Amino acid sequence: MGFLHQKDTVEFDLTSDKDTDLEVTDINIPPFVKLNDFQYGGGITQRYKIKNTKLKTKNKSSIRLLTVEFPQTLLIKLYSLMTPPEGLLPSKLGVWEWRQTFYNKMTGESYFCSCFKDALTKEYVGLVRKHAHLANALENNSFKESICHICTKTNSDLMYSHNMYSSSFKARYGAYITKHSIQESISERDAENYIRELKGVARIGERWVNETLLFNYINLLFPQFTVQREASPTWLNRQRFDVYIPELNLAIEYQGQQHYVAVDLFGGEEGLKRTKQRDKEKLQLSKINGVDIIYFSYKENLTEKLVQNRLKKYLKEYE
């Protein structure tokens, strides 16, 4: 039987809720798959690695199969039964690469979004092709209409640069910022402000003045999760969270002036008492149901750095 050698490791995660024990210690491989020894040198070999982690809201086991071989006949049969997906995935091209491509993982074909055409025309000569997806799209001059995160109005989980060297916004949208800068022959700062406006977040250095900007930015920070606005879980009765991420058991509340002092528009002194009582009940119900609440106040100068720092525990846990 012929085998097809998979040079890269195969990695996957198993997860459970925090109350379910998930302690993987061994792996049983089906007979039609070969798992070979990986040579580390010095006579040290290993076939797989297991890492069990207890997180705040779940248990996770990360498993790496180091050298896997599948029978070629099996792969051919599986391929014949599969319908090639029409959806395209964003290529992970590495830092500082702005020529973002999207690929079909079954066919291997790569494409640029049509909105990149003008910028690529301006910067085509002498460009280095470091990635196979990039080379494929450039060689075939492949474009598709409206496939990028900007055109489809979806959140990006790309990593154009490290957060140490730029804001989280630029880290995720740097490719589109650079593209727009080249396309319009404007500074990167002006290009970033343009993309920020498209995504509904504050311009560089601009003070955040409302809950909408806070929600939009939190939505950008957690692209892999459902970020809900004005959400009301059943156990919260008739109250609502300003922002709620169910998968993380995390709520974010923006406390306006009416949460601290009497405001005529919100019922004066009696309104303040009712607001404080509702806040107390909301906190108690959240604790009972295992939900953390992170607060932001109208007194604070809301900035991206402040929001990132206050949410960094949740960002690190799911990087």
Tell me the average pLDDT across 264-273. 84
Could you tell me if 162 and 188 lie in one domain? yes
* pLDDT tens digits, one per residue of 52-64: 988 888 888 999 8
Could you tell me if 10 and 48 lie in one domain? yes
Distance CA 285, CA 265 (A): 27
Domain that holds residue 110: 89-199
In a domain, 204, yes or no: no
Distance CA 229, CA 252 (A): 10
Which residue has 């210690």 as its token pair? 25
Domain boundary among 137, 168, 199: 199
* pLDDT tens digits, one per residue of 64-111: 888 888 787 887 787 777 766 668 999 988 888 999 999 988 788 999
In a domain, 206, yes or no: no
Task: Specify which of 105-109, 121-125, 182-186 reaches the highest per-range mean pLDDT.
Answer: 182-186
Q: Is the pLDDT of residue 187 over 90?
A: yes
Q: What separation, in Å, do the N-terminal and C-terminal C-alpha atoms of the chain show?
A: 40
